[in-house]
Structure formats: C-alpha cells, structure tokens
Amino acid sequence: MDMIEFEPGLVQAAWENVLDFFEKQFNKRPSDLESILFLIGVQELGIGHRVFTKEEKQDLMHIATCKVLSFSGFYELEGLDEAGWPHWNLVTPVPSLNLKEQDILLKAHIIHYFETEVF
C-alpha cells in the first residue's frame, strides 16, 4: 500500500473543496477537523444519525482517523464487534510529526477519502 503523498499548498486548496461540499450539503461549513472526523465516523459506522454519548463521539472520531489513515497502510480493519462498531489494528506506527504536520497528514487523508468514497 502506498503512502498518500501531499504538498501542503495543494492540500489546502483541496481542503477548501471538502469544506465547500459540507457547506452545500448541510448549509453549514465545519468549524474544525474534529467535526469532519466525527461525520466520517458516523458514515463509517453506518447506523445513521442519532444522539451519541461523549465517549461514542470520541470513538467515532477514532474510527474515522483509522479509516482515513488506512489508505496509507497505518491501520487495517480487524472487523466489527457485536454492536456493529468497527475495530482497527495499528499496522505501521504513524510517524512522529509536529501539530501542523499532523494536521496536514490528516487533511490529505480526509481529502483522499472524499475523492475516492464520496465525490
């Protein structure tokens, strides 16, 4: 599995497309990366909209992070538990990055998610 390559300037332009998608779909622009991860997690869980507990919201963001980073082979899906929640295994450690680099890495993978599974 190949690592998703990303150029910070290109990531920002493509990121705007993702934000525009949310604005068109929901008439609201997401305020932060966590909001988008939460929505990806809900999509990946596949049970539709409902009220989630704080812990479930954290779990949904974890599901989304694992899903998008799986495109570069960092995680692989282990399977679903009895309640239908996906569980992921860490395959390759995510490189140690500063906060700005982590942000760009996640955004690049989220962009890939949208380009391959949504758009």
Rg (Cα) of the chain, in Å, rounded? 14
E strands present in the chain: 75-80, 86-90
- DSSP reduced 3-state for 49: coil
Note whether 70 and 76 are within 8 A (CB). Answer: yes
Residue 60 lies in a domain: yes
> Where does the pLDDT of residue 4 fall: very low under 50, low under 70, confident under 90, or very high at 90 and above?
confident
In this structure, is residue 79 part of a structural domain?
Answer: yes
**Residue 3 covered by a domain:** no
The tokens for 109 are 């993978």
Kindly state whether residue 46 falls inside one of the protein's structural domains.
Answer: yes
Evaluate whether residue 38 is within a structural domain.
yes
- The region that residue 55 occupies, defined by phi over 0 for left and psi between -120 and 50 for alpha, beta otherwise, is alpha
Q: pLDDT tens, 24-47?
A: 998 999 989 999 999 999 999 998
- Which structural domain range is residue 58 located in? 8-117
Number of independent structural domains in the chain: 1
pLDDT for res 36: 96
Residue 1 forms part of a structural domain:
no
| 1, pLDDT greater than 70 | no
| Domain assignment present for 111 | yes
